[in-house]
Amino acid sequence: MDLKIVSAPLTIFDKTTVVTVPEMRRHARITQPDEDRQIAEDIEAAYDFLSGPNGWLGGCSLLTEQWEAYARGPDDIRRDFNLPMRPFQSLVSFDFLQANGSYLPVDPASYLYDNVTGFARFTSVGFTPWPYIGTAHDRAYRFRFMSGFGTTREAIPSPIRKGIKMLASHWYNQRETIGTEGRSPGKEVAYGLVHLCGRYRVGPDHS
């Protein structure tokens, strides 16, 4: 399924509202105020490591973002699509491709969706066919939707914020390539990250 961001990309300012620079200083016991830019960049790197379509958490938005996803169709009368980003907040639009290349809304009465796993799953109602142009197309259906825990730091689970601090602190202190042959200084960080954030992680198959 094709996926792209629709909302404006999050900035370093946005990401450092989830874990602030003063908060990071206290966590890492950093006293030098002239290092604030470096700290902010480490927070941003940690945020990006966890979040996004390819992030460690697995297709997870932390702060609210709007996405656009395309699905192939039709392969049969009954369809079933999982949106690739979570936690799902709301559907903005669900459209189908016309022969002239434009999109029109799919009738809401012909589909339903659930959000049991965080990834919204869309299914057709009974054997009601969704509209299509007559031949299979990789972008037959377009979904626009909102995903994320919320718009403020308080909406993001505290273990995830703790994981960002752990990663940012590690990268602040390890500024060069880490690890040598037969030695892995980052192993403790990986262990802590799994135990802090592992419950929010979902594999590529949504398991």
pLDDT at 179: 52
Does the domain formed by 65-147 have CATH 1.10.287?
no
Q: What is the dihedral of CA 99, 101, 107, 113, to 10 degrees?
A: 120
Contact partners, residue 41, CB within 8 Å, separation at least 6: 12
Q: What's the token pair of residue 86? A: 């979570």
CATH 1.10.3230.30 domain range(s) in the chain: 8-53+151-200
pLDDT at 182: 45
What pairing do the DSSP bridges indicate for beta strands 80-82 and 121-124? Answer: antiparallel
Distance separating alpha carbons of residues 164 and 71, to the nearest angstrom: 33
Q: Could you tell me where the beta strands, DSSP code E, fall in 8-87?
A: 65-73, 80-82
pLDDT at 11: 97
Give me the residues of the chain with pLDDT under 70, please.
1, 75-78, 176-188, 204-207
CATH 2.60.40 domain range(s) in the chain: 65-147
Q: What's the token pair of residue 204? A: 């590529």
pLDDT at 165: 94
pLDDT at 48: 96
| φ, ψ dihedrals at 177, nearest 5° | -55, 130
The class (CATH top level) of 8-53+151-200 is mainly alpha
pLDDT at 176: 65
Secondary structure class of 73 (helix, strand, coil): strand
**Smallest Cα–Cα separation from 83: which of 109, 60, 51, 105?**
60
Distance separating alpha carbons of residues 163 and 146, to the nearest angstrom: 24
pLDDT at 184: 45
| Contact status, residue 136 vs residue 75, Cβ threshold 8 Å | yes
